[in-house]
């Protein structure tokens, strides 16, 4: 995963017409540069180190703005939503034991063909897609 600089993220936000504040930029930096698909509470804990008076409501509000702008995607799960800034066609490998999520690009050409076939059929207009595979991560599978 390529880490984006503050300038890169600022440009992305400005290009989307999002007003920049130091708090909003910090939230965007955390979620965009996180490979672990953080929860809103994870993001809150990471940003609060620099902005101690920040509220969880500000985190949720900013995540909503970033999602509307297409910079992050909310991944709803049973316990708590996670956030993903990888907007390429990929699989999310979800560990059912430790709940880690890893992006996997393997098979993306196959997924792309499926998506194209659906779009070309004219029967369904795809707005977005999400592909999750559930199982055990490498660490958890070694414990069995």
pLDDT of amino acid 134? 92
pLDDT of amino acid 16? 83
pLDDT of amino acid 128? 77
Domains, in order of start, for the chain = 6-84 (1.10.10.10), 91-142 (3.30.1490.190)
What are the 10-residue block averages of pLDDT along the chain, 144 residues in total? 74 86 92 90 95 95 90 85 84 89 85 90 85 91 83
pLDDT of amino acid 87? 76
Q: What is the pTM of this model?
A: 0.76
pLDDT of amino acid 2? 62
Please check whether residue 34 is in contact with residue 3, taking contact to mean a CB–CB distance below 8 angstroms: no
pLDDT of amino acid 56? 96
């Amino acid at each position: 995963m390529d880490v984006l600089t503050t300038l890169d993220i600022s440009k992305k936000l400005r290009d989307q017409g999002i007003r920049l504040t130091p708090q909003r930029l910090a939230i965007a930096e955390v979620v965009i540069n996180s490979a672990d698909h953080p929860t809103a509470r994870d993001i809150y804990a990471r940003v609060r180190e620099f902005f101690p008076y920040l509220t969880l409501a500000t985190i949720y509000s900013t995540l909503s703005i970033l999602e509307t702008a297409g910079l992050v995607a909310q991944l709803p799960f049973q316990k708590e939503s996670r956030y993903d800034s990888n907007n390429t066609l990929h699989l999310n490998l979800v560990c059912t034991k430790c709940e880690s999520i890893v992006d996997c690009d393997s098979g993306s050409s196959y997924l792309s063909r499926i998506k194209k076939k659906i779009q070309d059929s004219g029967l369904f207009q795809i707005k977005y897609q999400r592909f999750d595979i559930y199982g055990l991560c490498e660490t958890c599978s070694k414990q069995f």
